[in-house]
Each structure stands twice: as structure tokens, then as C-alpha cells.
Structure 1
Amino acid sequence: MGLFSFIKNAGAKVFGIGKTDKEEAAEAAAAELKEEAAAARKLEETIRDLDLKVEGLSVHIDDDAATISGQAYDQATREKAILVVGNSNGIATVDDQMTVEHKEPEAQFHTVVSGDTLGKIAKKFYGNAMKYPEIFEANKPMLEHPDKIYPGQVLRIPELD
């Protein structure tokens, strides 16, 4: 699918305490690598915990860029895994290197802005605000409630059947 951009500081916190002082550059670099590796493992764990089926899942983080690879069961799973990684605090881009076992159409993505609701987003993409459950369902299990979206969050907007 390619490279996706996200708002770096808008997502869930998975990076822990942050970066160390610049004074000890070697220690800081080693600590950052360790922190990035731990964050990558945490993201992999989160994807598995959400029961997203990605065989051979691997997440690599370098500064604010993440690379995700593996074989997703279907396109929806692929897109949800990308969003789990990209909607994490500290991630600005996700390089998608995943393959898909069962091909289907790609969804559009929408970055939530202040004042957005799923109804407003549904109206924009589908012409009908009452289609918001389609967007909510397409973003489960990352969304737990239709009213709990936040500015900067990226959502999947699937094609309607």
C-alpha cells in the first residue's frame, strides 16, 4: 500500500517516558533504540490482542517512522493494523510492507478534525449521516464507542456494499 502520514503527537502513548538528555549521546542513542524496540513489540502485542490476523507480523520503529510487515488475512485487517501503529503517539509515518491473503477494495482514510463526529464524516463520504455505524464497525476494535474519536486520529472509511 505504501507510506501513510499521521499526526505524530495525536495518538495513544506507547513510548513510555520519552527520550533522554543530549549530554550523553551514546547512551541516549542506545536508550532510544531500546525504547523504539520496546514500543515496536508493544504495538505487535496490541495488534495481536485486537485479534487482527497478521502472520509473521513485524513492526520496526526508527525515530518517528514505523515499518510494518507480515501477511494480513484481508485488506480490512491490513488497514486496521496500519491504523493501530499510525494512531500511536510519536509515530508520524507508517511504511506498509504487508501483503494480503484475501484481496478486497482499499478503504479511504480520514483524519479527524476538531468538531468531527462519525455522523459528519458519514455525511461527507456517504451523503448520509445515519451511515455512521458503517464507519464505527470498520474501525472496531480500535474504536470502543462511536463518540470517542479525537482530532488527529485516522479512521478507515470503507466503500459501502
Structure 2
Amino acid sequence: MGLFSFIKNAGAKIFGIGTTDAEDTAKATVEELILEKAAAEKLKKIIVDLKLQAENLNIFIDDDIAVVTGLAYDQATKEKIILVVGNSEGIALVDDRMEVVYKKPEAQFHTVINGDTLGKIAKEFYGDAMKYPVIFEANKPMLTDPDKIYPGQLLRIPILN
């Protein structure tokens, strides 16, 4: 459990919430609340469509913060759910309150910077650039191509067995 920080304006577009500086200081309108609820439902559907197993999954969005609760099948599933939510445009912080059925060692996380490749990241974490498929597999289905990562994206770096 914990807080995970993301880049608010990077990632998949899940909802039409965008505020101006003037709106940031105003109270949330009914329309914004409806959009946040719709975005949370869309994220839950994406998670189900990705076949990430979680019971009683709930996502609550308030402005740019998402609170995620529920029971994930395992640690990897929990981490992937956090990444699906956090790597969505408009989300800056994920408050992870999920529990795990089958606990394994936690993975590390890496925020992609300009010039990063999965091979470069694998070299940094594992000492071997050719282990990039491990990182790619750990981030499926959010990643569909090992050559398509972007700055600001948060990746899961699993512990090698």
C-alpha cells in the first residue's frame, strides 16, 4: 500500500477532465463529479478487459488523485492495476489501498525518461540489456510493443527469480 506519483498530463486519455487555473481554485462542479465517476468506471472496465483479477475493485477519483481499493489476485496484478490507473492522463497520484491474496516480493518501479529503452532499463536493473523481455512481459497488457514507451510512463520492474 502507498502513494504512487504519476505525470498528470501523460498517458492514455480516459476522461475529459481538464481545468484552467481559475477552475483549479473553484469547488468541483456537478459536471466534474460526473466526469470523475465516469472515468473511474471506464478504468474499472479497462482493468476487467485486461483480465486483471481483482475482487471488489473500487476506484474513486477526486481531481487528479485516484484511490484504488479491492483485493488483487497477486502482487503483480495489484501493481498492474496501479499502473493502468496512474498511467492515465489526468491522474497525478494513485493512493493504493489494495490487498493481495497471494503475496510475493514486490517489484520496483521506474519512470521512463527521454532516451530510455527497455534494454537500457534492463541493463540498469538487471545488469543485462537482453533481459528487456522480462520488463516488457511485466507491463503487458499496458505495453503492446517493446519499442513504444514514453517519457513520464511508470513501468513495473519485477524481481528476477
| AA partner of residue 94 (structure 1) | V
State the TM-score, normalizing by the size of structure 1.
0.94
What pairs up with 1:140-155 in 2 under 5 angstroms?
A: 140-155=140-155
What pairs up with 1:7-156 in 2 under 5 angstroms?
A: 7-16=7-16, 18-19=18-19, 29-156=29-156
Q: 1:20, 1:31 within 8 Å by CA — same for their partners in 2?
A: no
- In structure 2, distance between residues paired with 1:33 and 1:2: 24
**Deviation readout 1:41-69 (Å, 9 max, x if unpaired):** 00000000000001001000000000001
1:15 positional shift: 1.2
Report how many residues are paired.
Answer: 160
Q: 1:19, 1:28 within 8 Å by CA — same for their partners in 2?
A: no
| AA partner of residue 89 (structure 1) | E
**Deviation readout 1:112-151 (Å, 9 max, x if unpaired):** 0011000000000001000000000000111101001000
- SS where residue 148 of structure 1 aligns? coil
Q: 1:65, 1:93 within 8 Å by CA — same for their partners in 2?
A: yes
* Closer, same or farther: CA 28–79 of 1 in aligned 2, 3 Å: closer
State the TM-score, normalizing by the size of structure 2.
0.94
| AA partner of residue 42 (structure 2) | K
CA RMSD of aligned residues (A): 1.9
| Unaligned runs of at least 5 residues, structure 2 | none
- In structure 2, distance between residues paired with 1:93 and 1:28: 18
1:18 positional shift: 3.4
| Unaligned runs of at least 5 residues, structure 1 | none
**Deviation readout 1:83-137 (Å, 9 max, x if unpaired):** 0000000101000011000010100000000110000000000010000000000
- SS where residue 110 of structure 2 aligns? strand
Q: 1:72, 1:78 within 8 Å by CA — same for their partners in 2?
A: yes
